[in-house]
Amino acid sequence: MATGGGYRNGVHKAPNIRTSSSFKSKLPPSNVRRSSSSASLGGAAANSVSGRVRVAVRLRPKNAEELVADADFVDCVELQPELKRLKLRKNNWDSDTYEFDEVLTEFASQKRVYESVAKPVVEVYVNVGKLITIIAAWPALWPLSVLDGYNGTVMAYGQTGTGKTYTLGRLGDEDTSARGIMVRSMEDILANISLETDSISVSYLQLYMENIHDLLNPSNDNISIVEDQRTGDVSLPGATIMEIRDQQNFVELLRVGEAHRIAANTKLNAESSRSHALLMVQVKRSVVDRNFEFSPEAQNHSHSVGNLRPPLLRKGKLIVVDLAGSERIHKSGSEGHMLEEAKSINLSLSALGKCINALAENSAHVPVRDSKLTRLLKDSFGGTSRTSLIVTIGPSPRHRAETAMKVENMLKIKEEFDYKNLSKSLQMEIDKLIAENERQQKDYEYDIERIRLEAQKRVAQAERNYVEVLEEEKMKCQMDYMESIKKLEEKWTVNQQKHGINGEMDAGNEEVSELKTLLQNERLLRKAAEDEIQKLKNQLLKFSKIQLAGGNADVFNLQEVLEEESHEKKKLEDEVKVLRSQLAQMAIEANHTRSYQDRGTSGNPHLGLDCPSPLNQMRSRDGSNGDRASIANLHEQVGLQKILSLLESEDASVRIHAVKVVANLAAEEANQEKIVEAGGLTSLLMLLRSYEDETIRRIAAGAIANLAMNEANQELIMAQGGISLLAMTSTDAEDPQTLRMVAGAIANLCGNDKLQTRLRSEGGIKALLGMVRCRHPDVLSQIARGIANFAKCESRASTQGTRAKQSLLIEDGALPWIVQNANNEASLIRRHVELALCHLAQHEVNAKEMISGGALWELVRISRDCSREDIRTLARRTLTSSSIFQAEMRRLRIEV
Integer Cα distance of 210 and 222 in angstroms: 9
Is 165 annotated to bind a ligand? Reply is: yes
Closer residue to ligand ATP in complex, CB, 393/742 = 393
Tell me which stretch binds ligand ATP (CB under 6 A): 164-172, 225-233, 234-242, 714-722: 164-172
Closer residue to ligand ATP in complex, CB, 274/317 = 274
Closer residue to ligand ATP in complex, CB, 399/526 = 399
Helix (H) or strand (E) holding 319: strand 312-322
Closer residue to ligand ATP in complex, CB, 164/314 = 164
Binding ligand ATP (rule: CB under 6 A), the pick from 31, 160, 620, 806 is 160
Closer residue to ligand ATP in complex, CB, 226/259 = 259
Closer residue to ligand ATP in complex, CB, 399/412 = 399
Q: Are strands 226-227 and 94-99 parallel, antiparallel or unpaired?
A: unpaired
Binding ligand ATP (rule: CB under 6 A), the pick from 161, 612, 626, 721 is 161
- The rounded Cα 402 to chain-centroid distance in angstroms is 67
- The rounded Cα 23 to chain-centroid distance in angstroms is 55
DSSP secondary structure string for all residues of 281-299:
EEEEEEE--HHHHTSHHHH
Determine, following the binding rule CB under 6 A, whether residue 258 of this chain makes contact with ligand ATP.
no
Q: Are strands 102-104 and 53-59 parallel, antiparallel or unpaired?
A: parallel
Integer Cα distance of 346 and 350 in angstroms: 6
Measured on CA atoms in the order 474, 477, 480, 481, is the torsion positive or negative? negative
Q: By CB under 6 A, what part of segment 867-896 binds ligand ATP?
A: none
Integer Cα distance of 440 and 820 in angstroms: 104
Q: By CB under 6 A, what part of segment 697-726 binds ligand ATP?
A: none
Q: How far is the CB of 281 from ligand ATP (least distance, A)?
A: 20
Count of residues engaged in binding ligand ATP, rule: CB under 6 A: 13
Closer residue to ligand ATP in complex, CB, 159/217 = 159
Integer Cα distance of 783 and 764 in angstroms: 11
Q: How far is the CB of 397 from ligand ATP (least distance, A)?
A: 17
Determine, following the binding rule CB under 6 A, whether residue 152 of this chain makes contact with ligand ATP.
no
Q: Are strands 77-80 and 85-91 parallel, antiparallel or unpaired?
A: antiparallel
Determine, following the binding rule CB under 6 A, whether residue 165 of this chain makes contact with ligand ATP.
yes
Q: x/- binding map, residues 54-93, to ligand ATP, per CB under 6 A?
A: ------xx--------------------------------
Closer residue to ligand ATP in complex, CB, 163/382 = 163
Determine, following the binding rule CB under 6 A, whether residue 153 of this chain makes contact with ligand ATP.
no
Is 160 annotated to bind a ligand? Reply is: yes
Q: How far is the CB of 164 from ligand ATP (least distance, A)?
A: 4
Integer Cα distance of 550 and 555 in angstroms: 10
Integer Cα distance of 717 and 709 in angstroms: 11
Determine, following the binding rule CB under 6 A, whether residue 163 of this chain makes contact with ligand ATP.
yes
Q: How far is CA 370 from CA 319, 351, 622, in A?
A: 19, 6, 99
Determine, following the binding rule CB under 6 A, whether residue 273 of this chain makes contact with ligand ATP.
yes
Contact 99, 24 (CB under 8 A): yes
Q: How far is the CB of 321 from ligand ATP (least distance, A)?
A: 12
Integer Cα distance of 347 and 328 in angstroms: 13
Is 161 annotated to bind a ligand? Reply is: yes
Helix, strand or coil, per DSSP, at residue 214: strand
| Burial status of residue 758 (CB atoms within 10 A of its CB: 0-12, 13-18, 19 or more) | middle
The terminus-to-terminus CA distance of the chain in angstroms comes to 150
Paired with 55 in beta bridges are 389
Determine, following the binding rule CB under 6 A, whether residue 162 of this chain makes contact with ligand ATP.
yes
Determine, following the binding rule CB under 6 A, whether residue 547 of this chain makes contact with ligand ATP.
no
Binding ligand ATP (rule: CB under 6 A), the pick from 149, 158, 751, 764 is 158
Q: How far is the CB of 58 from ligand ATP (least distance, A)?
A: 7
Q: How far is the CB of 390 from ligand ATP (least distance, A)?
A: 11
Determine, following the binding rule CB under 6 A, whether residue 272 of this chain makes contact with ligand ATP.
yes
Determine, following the binding rule CB under 6 A, whether residue 172 of this chain makes contact with ligand ATP.
no
483-489: long-range pairs with CB below 8 Å, 24+ = 484/511, 484/514, 484/515, 484/586, 484/589, 484/590, 485/586, 485/589, 485/657, 486/653, 487/511, 488/589, 488/590, 488/593, 488/623, 489/623
Contact 666, 628 (CB under 8 A): no
Q: How far is the CB of 9 from ligand ATP (least distance, A)?
A: 27
Contact 860, 896 (CB under 8 A): yes
Q: How far is the CB of 65 from ligand ATP (least distance, A)?
A: 11
Q: How far is the CB of 216 from ligand ATP (least distance, A)?
A: 19
Q: x/- binding map, residues 357-396, to ligand ATP, per CB under 6 A?
A: -----------------------------------x----
Q: How far is the CB of 426 from ligand ATP (least distance, A)?
A: 36
Tell me which stretch binds ligand ATP (CB under 6 A): 160-168, 256-264, 402-410, 477-485: 160-168
Integer Cα distance of 762 and 776 in angstroms: 25
Binding ligand ATP (rule: CB under 6 A), the pick from 166, 444, 691, 857 is 166
Closer residue to ligand ATP in complex, CB, 62/542 = 62
**Nearest residue (beta carbon) to ligand ATP:** 163
Closer residue to ligand ATP in complex, CB, 110/713 = 110
Determine, following the binding rule CB under 6 A, whether residue 19 of this chain makes contact with ligand ATP.
no
Closer residue to ligand ATP in complex, CB, 273/593 = 273
Closer residue to ligand ATP in complex, CB, 167/842 = 167
Tell me which stretch binds ligand ATP (CB under 6 A): 159-167, 658-666, 675-683, 871-879: 159-167
Closer residue to ligand ATP in complex, CB, 164/839 = 164
DSSP secondary structure string for all residues of 222-287:
----EE-TTT--EE-TTS--EE--SHHHHHHHHHHHHHHHHHHHHHHT--GGGSEEEEEEEEEEEE
Q: How far is CA 141 from CA 49, 51, 115, 122, 144, in A?
A: 8, 6, 16, 14, 9
Which residues contact ligand ATP by CB under 6 A? 60-61, 158, 160-166, 272-273, 392
Residues at the binding site are 158-165
Residues at the binding site for ATP are 158-165
